Structure formats: C-alpha cells, structure tokens
Chains A and B, each alone.
Chain A
Amino acid sequence: VAVVGASNAPEKYGYIILKNILDAGFAGSVYPVNPKAVEILGRPCTRSVGELPSGVDLAVIIIPAKAVPQAVADCGQRGIQAAIIISGGFAESGEEGAALQREVVEIARRFGVRVVGPNCQGVNNPHHGLCASWPLLTLKGDIAVISQSGTVGAALMDWASQEQLGCSSFVSMGNRSDVDESDLIDYFAQDSHTRAIAAYLEGVKDLVRFRAVATRCRKPIVILKSGRTLEGRRAAESHTRSLAGRDELYTALFRQLGIHRADTLEDLYDATKALAYLPRPRGRRVVTITSSGGSGILATDWAEWSGLTIAPLPGPVADSLRGILPPHCIVANPLDLTGDANAGLYRRVADATAPHFDYQVIIFGDPILQASEVVTPGSPQLVVFLGGADVERQERLRMHQKKVPVFPTPERGLRALARLYAFDEGAS
C-alpha cells in the first residue's frame, strides 16, 4: 500500500491514515510517498508514485485536488490498479471541482484504475488488517458498512467495535466517482467475512445496476436512506403526483428487492446486527423469559406490534416449570422469574421452553452473573440486557464474543427481531 501525500504533521490525514495502516498491523509493505520528506513514522519515503517498487496494490491519495489527476495517471502507469482518494475539492465543491473529478474518472478508466472517493473517509478492512481510514478500529466482525457519509459509517463501525462485535469492512464512498453502492453490494455478497450489509445512502447512483446486484445478493441488506422530506413534491393535478415523493419510490424499490429500510442510524445498526447474527425463525410463536416484570410487558407490547405471537405455555410445559420455579412466580408468558433469578434458573427455564416455541426472548433485567452461559450461539434466542450495570457490560461483551447479539432495551430488541420476519408476507 502506498500512501500518496503521507505527512509528518500529526494533525494531517496524510499522517493519521499512514499511522492507522501501520497500527492496524497491515501485513504487507507500506510506502509513504512525499517528495520532501526522508522518513515518516519510521518508514523511508518514496519521492513520487513513479519511483515506487512494482507490486503495489493500492494507493491511498491524500494530496491537493489539483494534483490528483496526475497522481492517478502515475498510479496507472506504475501498474497500481486501485486508488482511494481521500482529498476533497471535487464534485462536492462546485463546477470546477466536478470538472476535475470527471478528469480523474477519465484517467482512471484509461489506465484501468478503480477509484473509491474522492472526498471520502477511506476503507477499513479488519480482516485484511487494513485501516486506510479513521478512526483506528481493528476488530473483525460480520457486518459490512457502506456509507455515503464518512462519519455515519464510522459511527456504525465504532459502535460495533465498542460492543466487541466488530465489522467485516467499512467503505466510505464519498463522491462515488467510480465505485458505488452497487459495486460494493456485489462485492460483499461474495465476501466470506460478511454476513449482512448496512448502508447509509442519500440516493442510489445507478438504479438499473442496483436492482440487478440487490436481486442476486443472498445476504440481508439494510439501508438508511436520508432526504425523506417532502420538498421535492410538486403540487399538481393528480393525486398520484402529489403523493409521490422520491422517498415513496425508494420505499417501493427497497421493499420489492427485499431490502430492509432503517428509519434511524440506531435502527440501521440494530437491524443489521440482528440480521447478521440471529438465525432465521421457523415461525412467530415467541416466549419471553425475564427477571423484570416491566421489561416483560414492554417486550410483549413490541412483540404484538411486530406481529409476533406471545402464545400461552402448553399445559405440560407449565407443569414442568412449576417444579423448577420458586412458588411465587406466575407461570405464564411472559415468564417472570422475578428478581431472585440466576443464570442456572434461566438456563433450566430456557431448556424447558425451547422445544415449544419458535423464538425465545431472553431478557436479563438485573445483574445476572454468568448470563452469557445461558445463551447458545446460533439458536433462536433474542437477548436483551438492561439494569445490570457492570455485570451487564461484562456479560454483554462475553456474549458478543460468542456472536450472540445483545440488545439494550426490549423495544430495540423486539424491533430488531421483527426484521427477521419482514419479507414473510409474500409481498415480494
């Protein structure tokens, strides 16, 4: 990897990105390129792209916009076929920048260089130890993040890392001069590290290709699409016209392609997390097991709103639970184990009910020690943990290390669970 425009000034992206690539432990060679410096971060500097040794796969370009076309041409001539252009000052900045961007695209096409950006926050792929981006995040996970906004995507990856779930990749698309969401969905559909794709988009660049790649992608896709307000609507003669903002058409498009649409950034995160890590349900009958009566009722409300069935406990199951539970527990669904619940009791109740329901909603509503021992990775269990303070924080990380996703409230958990049922209706 060459960092074109590497810098010794710690506040510059030319320094930050080089440092992140080194600190993330990239296994291949890393070449700072800067005509004036001798050495940056302990690495000898190359004066120009033309002087790089052969075999460089990727150039990360962080130089003034006007110099970018030449740098891309140099990359092409040196046989470097991929470039991430961090620099701004292109289409986002007006007509002059747009012309410069067209020039870059034209040069890149001529030399067969694929371009991410310009005006982007780079690419972070923990599975390849490549953090050509910021902030420095290195935890490997199963969620790929695609974003038209650097910050929005980085926030998602930051949350996933903080929670010990990690990401398979983060790509900040910037101005999408070449690589766009369709390329990336197609790529992550094939990527063995990715189980679900989260995207933040302001619009789809090429609808025809997007429809084609989304149709053949077998992995769940969740999209947060902004720009939903009505300013684009025309007052007109027909109802159809007055009711049809672009947003309704995006809703129709996503729905027909089986793409989950998120309403908020938090929803984007929760939905992708559920779709990446939870097994598909057999049916809608759920049982809630909790130590918190209030959480059980909240979960029941959200389950009902989501079209799930809080089915009564079958008679023999209820009888067997009476032998397990303390006498003051009411044997019903939700099953309130009350405040004296411990991991052992949770486990016995989970085992007794599992064969009779399609999904278990397990809500830890107290500092339940060893809660992570209750859950089984890959089984139909939605886990919510709240009110558990330090124990909760520790057990959540343990569960995430086992790839069992944990949600912070009954609402967020049940809404995420409902995503697994979203396209059941045969509505295509």
Chain B
Amino acid sequence: VTAPSPAAPGRWLPEPEAYRLLATYDLPVIAHRLATSPDEAAATAQELGFPVALKIVSPDIIHKSEVGGVVLNVPTPSEAAAAYTAILNRLTPAASRLTIHGVLVARMAPPGTEVILGMLRDPQFGPAVMAGLGGVFVELYQDVAFRLPPLTPPEARAMLLGLKAAPLLTGYRGQPPRDLDALARCASGVARIAAEHPEIQEMDLNPVLAYERGCMIVDAKILVR
C-alpha cells in the first residue's frame, strides 16, 4: 500500500500540489491547507470552518484511508489537533521510512452525486479523458465513457449524458438535476491539462461531487513522469 507501484513509473503529486494545478485551470477544488503540527491543524480547521477532513500528505502513500491516514467529519479545533496526532501515530513505525509533508486539512463538502473524472495517457492514443458515476456504477458496471482531447464543454456534456447512469445527473426519482455544465467544464479542463502537461500520465478526480449548482473536487491523484 505504501510502496510506489512498479506498473506506474513516475510519482504521484502530493494532494496540495495536485489541487494547485487543478485550481490554475479554474477547476473547483475543496478549500484546504497543509498543516505540519497539531496546533496548525486546529487553527487551519477553525479558519476553514467545520466540519473538516484530515488527510495524510505523503508521496509514498497512495491509498490514504487504508493506512488510517484519513479522518472525516472532525467537528472542533481540539479534535482536529487530536486527529492530526492520531494519523501520524498510526503510521509509526513505518513513518520513519516515509516522506511525510504533513496533513491536509480540508473543509468537508456537503454530500452530492459522486462523479469520477480521469485522464490517462496511452502510448499509442495519447491522452484520453474518462467520466463515470462514482461508487457501484464505475466499480461493478464499469459504466464509464472515454473521449480523446480536445474536449469542448458541449462534447463533455454529451459524454456525461451518454452514461447509463446519466439519469442520476438529470434528475432521477424527483431528485433535482445536477449541474451538468459545471461537470462538463471540469471534464473539458481535464482535457486541457492533459494537452498542456505532457508530463502528466494519469489523473483521477474521485470523487467530484455534483450539486444542483456547481460541483466540487474533493480528492485528486495525479501521476507525473
């Protein structure tokens, strides 16, 4: 879990770096800050507003929750400080072998429809953008769509509407429709990033939470070579 995969040469950007890149393309990223001490975690949480999530930031850890590196729904400054300490303690003794940048404190986003947006660079095809609906639809039914950049927002919209689970976005069983235009701009932004950053091999924005108005990226993995 903590070793870089031999199948994917390159390095995963630390989450704050990934967010920074996404933000420069005007993609909506959850409010966050890196904390390097329990006190800083408490103060940052206070600033961002509760509840918050805390996540370990280490280039050596890809699956953060599997090593106990994630604590969600933290309601107070003191609990934020305690969560910081708890996360680092859980990594001991492995922590001595790992590069740890600190702990990301991020505002908890309100619940929304989970969407996954991704990109991968194929040696023959070049970059391809992927979209799917989160959770069971992607994992069990592999209900995803691919497009090769360039990808305009209208094309991205059509891509999302082509998913089998698209009714979950357009208003299923009386649910309000989700902001397809915001999601489409996001997917289109992923295509632009792919085109302008040939060093990026893979991206996984998972999940992107879709709301009636807007959407929010709450986790991002970016592999660079």
Q: Could you tell me which A residues sit within 8 Å of B by CB distance? A: 207, 234-241, 243-244, 246, 248-249, 251-253, 256, 425-428
Contact = CB atoms under 8 A, between A and B. Distances in A.
A236 B8 contact: yes
Nearest to B146: A252
Interface string B110-144: 00000010111010110010101000001100101
Chain B interface size band reads 35 or more
A256 B118 contact: no
* List of 9 A-B pairs having minimum Cβ-Cβ separation, nearest first: A240-B118, A427-B158, A252-B146, A238-B204, A249-B125, A248-B146, A240-B130, A237-B62, A240-B120
B5 interface: yes
Contacts of A249: 122, 125, 128, 146, 148
A252 B62 contact: no
A248 B124 CA distance: 13
B204 A240 contact: yes
Most chain A CB atoms below 10 A, which of B12, B130, B204, B221:
B130
A243 B145 CA distance: 10
A251 B8 contact: no
A253 B154 contact: no
Nearest to B62: A237
Contacts of B43: none
A427 B155 contact: yes
B46 to A, nearest CB: 33
A251 B5 contact: no
Interface of B: 5, 7-8, 12, 62-63, 116, 118-120, 122, 124-125, 128, 130, 132, 138-139, 142, 144-148, 154-155, 158-159, 162, 202-204, 206, 221, 223
Given A243-B142, A256-B147, A256-B148, A238 B221 contact: yes
Contacts of B204: 237-240
B3 to A, nearest CB: 11
A238 B223 contact: yes
A251 B162 contact: no
B128 A239 contact: no
29 contacts: A207-B124, A236-B8, A237-B12, A237-B63, A237-B221, A238-B118, A238-B120, A238-B202, A239-B116, A239-B138, A239-B139, A239-B204, A239-B206, A240-B118, A240-B119, A241-B8, A244-B130, A246-B122, A246-B124, A246-B125, A248-B144, A249-B122, A249-B128, A249-B148, A252-B147, A253-B148, A426-B158, A427-B158, A428-B155
Contacts of B116: 239-240
B8 A243 contact: no
A350 B146 CA distance: 42
Nearest to B116: A239
A129 to B, nearest CB: 39
Contact of A236 (B5, B119, B203): B5
Nearest to A255: B147
A207 B158 CA distance: 24
Contacts of B124: 207, 246
Given A238-B203, A239-B206, A256-B147, 5 more contacts: A239-B116, A239-B138, A239-B139, A243-B130, A251-B146
A412 B195 CA distance: 41
Nearest to B125: A249
A206 B142 CA distance: 28
A309 B1 CA distance: 53
Contact of A237 (B5, B130, B139): B5
A240 B202 contact: yes
B128 A234 contact: no
A425 B120 contact: no
Nearest to A427: B158
B138 A243 contact: yes
Contacts of A234: 7
Given A237-B8, A241-B120, A427-B159, A252 B148 contact: yes
B158 A425 contact: yes
Nearest to B154: A426
Contacts of B119: 240
Contacts of B7: 234-236
A114 to B, nearest CB: 25
Contacts of B138: 239, 243
Nearest to A230: B142
A207 B125 contact: yes
A249 B125 CA distance: 7
B13 to A, nearest CB: 13
